[in-house]
Homo-oligomer: A and B are copies of this chain.
């Protein structure tokens, strides 16, 4: 049966109130699919459906609902049910979900949670946004340094099912110090009376709660980890970050980079769920800054206006090439900045590679500039053959524009690699340097170059 057929069947059963017949259909669905099905239900059915979910999956399903639906459901269920739900949910999911709720709802939920859990939640809510602490979970498997393999396996049997992952178990000392890790596959193959310190790998990679989530993602990517332990400032194990959350981090970081590269203020919200006013607010700041900075390009044109007006038709022909010149410059610059920014994000280059990167870009720019130059001479002369005719004047315009373009390409590609590298050096996000800023600077350069050459030759 396809997912659609199962959804249809569930809907029919809901309509006929045959809740007892639902379990068969539910068994064919993953918790993610069940959450997807629930997204479409209105309040009355949502509550009925949620209440027949098997207890062992209800919390998982809830964690996969989007935050609006979570809030809707929370407002429908009883205090007792809230308590059960929070009890069954992984702490990182609970915190994610609470962060999206209005304060009054959070208050009600925390009131219905036991003191210990409440304290934990409050501590988690205080980790800085985008820190390792804010994305970690406390449902990890820990083993004491002096316990035997047999004892360890017994511990995992008892508590393993409540842990987010038991595939990498962390070994801690008496003060909860993180000492090493043991993979479950090695544990089940080890001799029962071996003790942890002898079989563990003490070469353990970890982060601190305050480290940035990007650092966490970089380590998971580099070392192909399934989970990464998080310690406090004293080196005590306090949580783990699992790889599924890292995939979300990577998605978020990439979205952020793409948004910054296009002059958008980044946010974690889904496009379709962001109010129009917020979309507006994300976009207008950079547009205003760039519009105002375009005053300079305007002033350059006005400044050279004498050249333009005395040359009559020549001025018009020169003006007609402005969009081509500026767009080519902008495109060249943003090509370079995109490659450099992306390589930095993937940890392939850094500020120390400055001269190597710049020298590559200059060589590429030379080739690109030369090719475009030749192509443009051909293009403009062909155009003039059918319009103004090929005269000394049009040939001059052609060569002035082409030469200006060559220089613009060299400058654009140089800026395209230099600006992001410098941004990184002064701890700015390099992605900001990609798009609109470079375009604006390159525009100003292109115009100055063009008019300087034009005043020399025309």
Q: Is A424 an interface residue (CB 8 A)?
A: no
Which of chain B's residues has its CB closest to A382's CB? B295
| A298 contacts B320, C-beta separation under 8 Å | yes
The interface bits of chain A over 371-390 (1 if a CB of B lies within 8 angstroms of the residue's CB, else 0) are 11001100100010001000
Chain A contact residues: over half helix, strand or loop, or mixed?
A: helix
| B244 contacts A247, C-beta separation under 8 Å | no
| A264 contacts B439, C-beta separation under 8 Å | no
Chain B residues with Cβ under 8 A from A203's Cβ?
Answer: 27-30
Q: Is A254 an interface residue (CB 8 A)?
A: yes
Stretch at the interface among A170-178, A192-200, A304-312: A304-312
Q: Give complex CA distance A403, B219 in Å.
A: 51
| B375 contacts A288, C-beta separation under 8 Å | yes
Q: Give complex CA distance A30, B203 in Å.
A: 7
| A368 contacts B331, C-beta separation under 8 Å | no
Among B271, B301, B339, contact of A323 (Cβ-Cβ < 8 Å): B301
Which of chain B's residues has its CB closest to A277's CB? B367
Chain B residues with Cβ under 8 A from A259's Cβ?
Answer: 338-339, 342
Chain B residues with Cβ under 8 A from A343's Cβ?
Answer: 270-272
Q: Is A76 an interface residue (CB 8 A)?
A: no
Q: Give complex CA distance A346, B280 in Å.
A: 21
Interface residues of A in 240-290 (CB under 8 A from B): 243-244, 246-247, 250-251, 254-255, 257-259, 261-264, 270-272, 276-277, 279-280, 283-284, 286-288, 290
| B302 contacts A349, C-beta separation under 8 Å | no
Interface residues of A in 430-453 (CB under 8 A from B): 435-436, 439-440, 443, 447
- A298 CB, nearest partner CB in chain B, Å: 4
| A271 contacts B320, C-beta separation under 8 Å | no
Q: Is A82 an interface residue (CB 8 A)?
A: no
Q: Is A220 an interface residue (CB 8 A)?
A: yes
| B286 contacts A367, C-beta separation under 8 Å | no
Q: Is A189 an interface residue (CB 8 A)?
A: yes
The interface bits of chain A over 199-231 (1 if a CB of B lies within 8 angstroms of the residue's CB, else 0) are 000010100000000000000111110100000
Among B166, B264, B319, B383, contact of A301 (Cβ-Cβ < 8 Å): B319
How many chain A residues sit at the interface, stated as a range, is 35 or more
Chain B residues with Cβ under 8 A from A263's Cβ?
Answer: 331, 335
Chain B residues with Cβ under 8 A from A254's Cβ?
Answer: 250, 254
- A288 CB, nearest partner CB in chain B, Å: 6
Q: Is A358 an interface residue (CB 8 A)?
A: no
- A140 CB, nearest partner CB in chain B, Å: 13
Q: Give complex CA distance A118, B44 in Å.
A: 61
Q: Give complex CA distance A70, B205 in Å.
A: 26
Q: Give complex CA distance A223, B243 in Å.
A: 12
Chain B residues with Cβ under 8 A from A29's Cβ?
Answer: 203
Interface residues of A in 340-399 (CB under 8 A from B): 340, 342-343, 346, 348-349, 353, 356-357, 360, 363-364, 367-368, 371-372, 375-376, 379, 383, 387
Q: Is A148 an interface residue (CB 8 A)?
A: no
Interface residues of A in 395-447 (CB under 8 A from B): 435-436, 439-440, 443, 447
Q: Give complex CA distance A95, B349 in Å.
A: 27
What are the nearest 4 A-B pairs in CB distance? Answer: A294-B324, A224-B244, A297-B323, A301-B320
**5 sample A-B contacts, Cβ–Cβ < 8 Å, listed by A number:** A262-B338, A276-B364, A305-B316, A322-B322, A323-B326
